[in-house]
Structures are given as structure tokens and as C-alpha cells.
Structure 1
């Protein structure tokens, strides 16, 4: 039996192929107020980054803010079963995944970060990838991306190997700057300080060539610098 057939014919607690009806509106709002031990909707709105008017709209329309449920689960560790349906422990610990406070800690009159907090901050801090575009042959810094290992696995990119991202048309390519010896693949390189992405190959004659539109062009190592290899591509739909 193929993987598709096995999954297709398996009964799951939550059906895979149909939308799940989860709690929204007033029920969800009151659940979150109870969960975080808040006094009212105003505190909840401030906590989750929306306005009181937004909560009123959720109540009227029985809105289910799916992104918020995912965010709260990732931030606190509170189960999705509880957030979506109110099932399970009604007094879950929302601080289980916390690692510090925004309220400064003072010692001898000076603010400091306790060692255990600093250790946890380092543990939870995600690596940043600086993103560039190539404009008129020059690298132009655009943004910094923070991508968790879990998200990287879902979308199929290798952020462990990558240390730089390049906007290439409507796609994002991820570069490993340590791979500077061209063998076979797509590379970020510059010729006379003009940057570009292209397919490079080392052929049996020991020389490296740029392949483009069915043609190959020899690379002059005196004027060409390899800045890294493309290890993953995130394509837009």
C-alpha cells in the first residue's frame, strides 16, 4: 500500500481532508481571558496586539483567528486542543516556554541579565539570514530573515547550510558562503566586482565554465570570485 493510500484510508481524530470547526468569537475570547488570567477584553486586546474593536468584530462574526491560535501555541506551549476546543487541562501553564521578562532586573543599581536568562535567550534566539537583491550588478541589502528549523523543514529549505539569501526575480535563493570551489551547481559570483547568479561547472579539462542558454563560457579565475553556492530555493507561486 502506498503512502497516499494508507493515509487516505486511515481514520484520524481530526479529518485531514475537511476544514475543522474550531471555537471562535465570544467563546474563544473568554477562553483566552481565563487562560492568561486577565481582567477584561481590553487587557486581552493589548496582549495579543489587536484593538478592542477587533474583538467586538470577532464576537459578532464568530471569527476564528487561526494565525493567533498558532502563534499562542508556539509562544506558550499551550495545546492546540485547548485553544481550539477548550479540551484538556483548563489551567495550563502559559509560561512553560518563557525565558525572561521585559521588566529590567537591577543589581547594585544597574540593570543586568541573570545568567540563567542569558542562557535561555541564547537557546531560543533564532539565527538571522541577511537578504540581498542584485541591482545593476551590486549586492543591495534588503532585510534580515529569521527562520526556525521547523519552518525550514516544512518549506524544504536548508537554513543550516545557508548564511545569505538573495532575491532572484520572484524567488529567494539561499547561499552557503563557505562553498567557494565550483564543481557543479548554481553559484553567486562576481566578475570584475559585478555580481550575478549562474550555473557553473568544472569540466574534465580542469577549467570552470558558465553555462547559459545552452552555451558555455570559460571563467577567468583572475577576474572571477565565487561568493557561495545556492543550497536551497524558495519559489513563489
Structure 2
């Protein structure tokens, strides 16, 4: 668990004298204090640390990824902070941390898959003449796209806009 391969390193890791660790080892004693310390520091299973049984970490926990968040206002993105999201949640929606952009607006939070830039049907982050927005796109015959703007829909050529990514997941405010 600690990566320590000697008593000296173990003593340094926990900030206790080497002689204490040697005494525990010599008398074949279990260092309960170190089990508790390691559990609190790493979240490792006490059963695993004390008995060597089971898995060190439960399958229910997942490492988190810290993602930058951007505010979409007036057609442009401005960095607004960051948020932590577990990798398992991202993976359930086909997202990878390296290709995910998190965008906030007044309506909610959008998780954009930046790899998905060939629109078929769905909500996408688009660039129209340098202005960004999230709109519903529908592919039409003849390399055309229908873009929904609130209650109206317009038809454009594929070359008229730049698709920056597909909305793979969103959280809406109620």
C-alpha cells in the first residue's frame, strides 16, 4: 500500500522511530495504529490491511477527474473554475477526461464530447461566425444541417458552421 520496501522507509512514511517498527516485527505484533492511519489516509479496506483478505479498495469507489468549467455567455467561453467528477460516470456516457469540455450557462451544465464533431442528430456545441452556442442539429440530405434556435429552424450548409463537439451529458436546473 505504501510503496515502502524497507523498515527505514516505513518509519519515515509514518513518522515513527525505526526501532518501534523493528520491535513490532521482532515480536510478530500487528501495528493497529498504522492500519487505522493508512485506512484514513488512503481509504483502503481495514480488512485488507489487517488480514490481507479481499480487495484494498471497494469496487464502488472510482477515481475522480478534475475538469475545467467554462461559462457560455454572449457567444463566447470564459473559464469559470473546475469541478470533480468520477471517471466511471464519464465512461458511462462515452466520455474521456481528455476530450471532455464542461460548459455552464443559465440553464445547466453540459458535458461536451470534443471527439464527436460529425453531427447526425442531437445537441452540439457549434461556432457560427466566431460565436459559440449549443443547439440541436439534424443532418439533412445534400451535406446540409438543420439548426434549431428556440422555436425556429434554419437550414445551412455543413461548411457554414463549425461543430466543436456533441453534448453527451447534461444537468439541468429546475
Tell me the TM-score normalised to structure 2 length.
0.58
Aligned residue number for residue 130 of structure 1: 68
SS in 2 for 1:228: strand
Partners of 2:167 and 2:124 lie apart in 1 by 6
Q: Aligned pair count?
A: 121
Aligned residue number for residue 207 of structure 1: 144
Aligned residue number for residue 81 of structure 2: 143
Q: Does 1:165 align with 2:66?
A: no
SS in 2 for 1:182: coil
Contact kept in structure 2, 1:149 and 1:159, CA below 8 Å: no
Aligned residue number for residue 127 of structure 2: 190
Contact kept in structure 2, 1:147 and 1:159, CA below 8 Å: no
Displacement, 1:126?
3.1
The change in CA–CA distance for 1:223 and 1:195 in structure 2 (over 3 A counts) is: same
| More strand, by proportion | 2
Report the aligned-residue RMSD.
3.0
Q: Which runs of 4+ in 1 moved over 4 A?
A: none
Structure 1 spans left out of the alignment, 5+ residues: 1-89, 100-123
Residues 13-92 of structure 1 aligned to structure 2 (within 5 Å): none
Aligned residue number for residue 96 of structure 1: 39
Aligned residue number for residue 64 of structure 1: none
Displacement, 1:229?
0.4
Displacement, 1:125?
6.2
Aligned residue number for residue 118 of structure 2: 181
